[in-house]
Amino acid sequence: MKTNPVVWFEIYVDELPRAQKFYETVFDLTLNELPTPDAVDDGMKMLAFPSDMESKNSASGALVKMEGFKAGNNSTIVYFASEDCSIEEARIAAAGGNVHKSKVSLGDYGFMVLANDTEGNMFGIHSMA
């Protein structure tokens, strides 16, 4: 039996301090600033939920403030696990979707691809290679 392939989620926000207060209050936890790798630093700010990227069958995630991504309306992106995200990236167009951001390095955090499915929903693919 396969395990849950979801490894990462992002909740896009308009006001990071307001969203931080909301999630910390509702879930009684502390969000921590996640450094943005230089390769994707375009004003992006992230606050991570407590997590362990090595845990199997669980997802980690963050609140994200990023230019061009407004809160609401598909403002959560689910990332699927992969051995090498370029493999799935190569299948996206043939399946009827499109690649929004080709495989990019996240430094110590691996690699990612952003794509749109046939319904226009954005999703991500994450790999350590």
Q: What is the pLDDT of residues 93-118, one digit of tens each?
A: 999 899 999 999 999 999 999 998 98
Whole-number pLDDT of residue 106: 93
Whole-number pLDDT of residue 53: 62
DSSP 82-116: -S-HHHHHHHHGGGT-EEEEEEEE-GGG-EEEEEE
pLDDT digits (tens, 9 = 90+) for 18-75: 999 988 998 888 999 988 777 776 778 999 988 776 666 678 888 888 877 778 776 7
Token pair 């598909």 in the structure block, residue: 74
Whole-number pLDDT of residue 129: 95
pTM for this entry: 0.70
Report the relative pairing of strands 122-127 and 111-116 from DSSP bridges. Answer: antiparallel
> Band of the pLDDT at 92, cuts 50, 70, 90?
very high
- Alpha-carbon distance 53 to 62, whole Å? 12
From the number of C-beta atoms within 10 Å of its C-beta (0-12, 13-18, 19+), residue 119 rates as exposed
Domains of the chain: 6-127 (3.10.180.10)
Record the tokens describing residue 101, joined without a space: 């951001």
